[in-house]
Structure 1
Amino acid sequence: MISTSALRASGSLFGLAYGDALGKPTEFLTVAEIQRRYGPTGPRELSGEPALVTDDTQMALAVAWALHEAPSLTPEVVEPLLRRRFLAWAVSPDNNRAPGMTCLRACAELSRGLRWQEATVAGSKGCGANMRVTPVGLLDVDLDTLAGLAQLQAGLTHGHPTGLAASELTAYAVFALRAGTTLAELPAVLTERARSQRLVYREQWLGDLWQRPGVGTPEEFIAQGWDECLAVLRRLTNALGQPDDGGDPCRATGEGWVAEEALATALLCAVRHADDPVAALARGATTAGDSDSIAALAGAFVGAAAGMAAWPTGWVDRIEYADQLATLGAAWD
């Protein structure tokens, strides 16, 4: 029998969904209102039968199924599968969870049959780029393939270089945690990765996405994204060097509406509460920013580090899409 602590793919996928569900009702509330409703530590119990998730989990499942059904992990194979899954999500009657406008706009253009480099919202680096990338980090692939897949799935809707870089870092974080990197080590590991990738433009995966007015080279284009990620990682490192005041983590690393801030604020919650996974979710849900995305990514990180043992046993049958999460988790565990 496999220990639940070893089920890191399942732990990460379920953790994402659990955080999403806890952050769903708090996303547009102030911290004071969240604490008034749920107490000083925020929401720590799933609500509803099942507990509903948002577009964050729905789109993560779209990415996961595209990867799961791909006979090979090349851009030529994966892009049409991602496109099909994204378009199915866009027209689904279950797509009624306040979906992001960037994703909807890009999907509308993809549905017209445009090349994805033309369909994407070129100026958007919203957290929709990396709220769904966790499945990429659960694959047993080389790091170049991981990076290409992470950036491709982001680029179909969010064409800004920071959305691409933050998505790669988010997937790399999940990958590293699953391989045994600790949460405490992760900020330094991600900083090293960002520095090493600063001038790497993955043309095989991105094609001519870089060609914009005022941009001279592919390297100039992608460096902007990595520089913005490095800046927020510095903020994260500085915050972790200070005592935890128990307040809104968004004050240190941003509200999470954009991709690099969603990554950093989720990591801040995960590292602060590495020994209490449910508290990491609750901390992410008790924010003035994009609470569902922050809590979802915090759950993905803690679950990748600790496996299914991180989560209350009674939750597994109470979360929406439990059957899909279980099937995909088992396939990658």
Structure 2
Amino acid sequence: MPAMRRASGTMFGLAYGDALGAPTEFLTMKQIARRFGERGPADLDGDPALVTDDTQMAIAVGLALLDALENPPFTPDLITPMWRRRFVDWLDSPENNRAPGNTCLKACRGLAAGKPWVEATVAGSKGCGANMRVAPVGLAPGLSDETRAGASQLQAALTHGHPTGLAASELTAFAVRWLADGMDPAGLPAALRARCHEQRTVYHGDWLGELWQRPGMDAPETFIARGWDECLAVLDRLDEALAAGDRTSDPCAVTGAGWVAEEALATGLLCFLLFPDEPAEAIRRGAASSGDSDSIACLAGAFAGAHLGMGAWPDGWSARIEYAADLARIGGAWD
């Protein structure tokens, strides 16, 4: 049996979802149905099919990880300047014209100005920019669970300083890792819930430094627990939506519109888990949504690709997607 190439499936899957969801991001469900049909966009548009900042920043995370893993040991001191440089390069790129989020722009401007990242980050933001780009951390080989957790939270914290953005990013990375390792998708919600409980008071100080120090926080454990609690709450909503099993209605109706990190995680997971063996349908469901459709479909594509591998995606898409060479470089390094 040929290798499933799950890393490539993840990287290309997130880009496919991003490209499919980009044209629907600011449309209502009725507008989407009129333009694309009830099931949403069926095919990539254009050659190349353009992606958004979601894929651009996921590539930035992945390329920095490739560089870091070639220069072990993998530590926060090693990867932080690499991620800083890649994020600033993204900020300055002429291709950074895909409606990027204000949080990412503001924080990256601070990074470009040389501020310490704990000052550059937007402390109150838990936008989905924290976790739309984290899939490469889930794929990176050879990391301990503690290192993967710290790294996934750090890449979020460089721009989004809210504890829920950190926790949702860790859950996203671990979902990708577990699926790539062969976890049955049906077991994913319970595994994520258990992770929330296990990690609720774990603050990765080596990675996050003094990020927790802000008004109202008496200890790092108090800070991070808020993020895990909000993720647990949205996992309750995910369970509710999965129990209903509605594969035709707006996926944002129960789990949320996805503009914030925990809702993007839950709604992306919902789209994947409603169609665990139909990856193209999973990202179509994410694209046909009333919320942040490109980020929702991007996450659904990452989960589907980690589960099913590169061969599950439609033939011909890999030749048409924007940034195919970068996606192939990252995926091929870790397949």
Show CA shifts across 1:271-305 (max 9, x none).
00112110000000011100000000000000000
- The one of 24, 28, 38 equivalent to 2:22 is 24
1:228 aligns with 230
Aligned pair in 2 of structure 1 residues 46, 76: CA closer, same or farther (>3 Å)?
Answer: same
The 5 A counterparts of 1:28-47 are 28-47=26-45
Number of residue pairs aligned between Structure 1 and Structure 2:
331
Among 140, 162, 166, the residue aligned to 2:168: 166
Which amino acid is 1:186 matched to? L
For normalisation by structure 1, the TM-score amounts to 0.98
1:166-225 deviations in Å (ceiling 9; x for gaps): 000000000000011122211111011111000000000000000001100000000000
Distance 1:245 1:93 in 2: 39
| The one of 328, 331, 335 aligned to 1:329 | 331
Match for residue 124 of structure 1?
A: 125
2:11 maps to 1:3: no
- Greater Cα shift, 174-183 or 77-86: 174-183
Q: Which residue of 1 aligns with 2:53?
A: 55
Letter in 1 for 2:210: D
Matching of residues 246-265 of structure 1 within 5 Å = 246-265=248-267
Q: Is the 8 Å Cα contact of residues 287 and 294 (structure 2) preserved in structure 1?
A: yes
SS in 1 for 2:322: coil
Distance between the aligned counterparts of 2:210 and 2:38, measured in 1? 49
| Counterpart contact for 2:247–2:274, Cα < 8 Å | no
Counterpart selection for 2:302 from 297, 300, 305: 300
What CA distance in whole angstroms lies between the structure 2 residues aligned with 1:245 and 1:326?
Answer: 31
Matches for 1:74-113 after TM superposition, within 5 Å: 74-113=75-114
Instruction: Please give the alpha-carbon distance, in whole angstroms, between the structure 2 residues aligned to 1:185 and 1:302.
Output: 14
2-structure distance, mates of 1:150, 1:243: 30
Equivalent in the alignment of 2:287: 285
Question: Which blocks of at least 5 consecutive residues in structure 2 are unaligned?
Answer: none
Partners of 1:199 and 1:250 lie apart in 2 by: 29
Over 2 Å off, 4+ runs: none
Q: Which residue of 2 aligns with 1:196?
A: 198
Deviation at 1:245, TM superposition (A): 5.5
Q: TM-score, normalised by structure 2?
A: 0.98
Identity %: 63
CA RMSD of aligned residues (A): 0.9
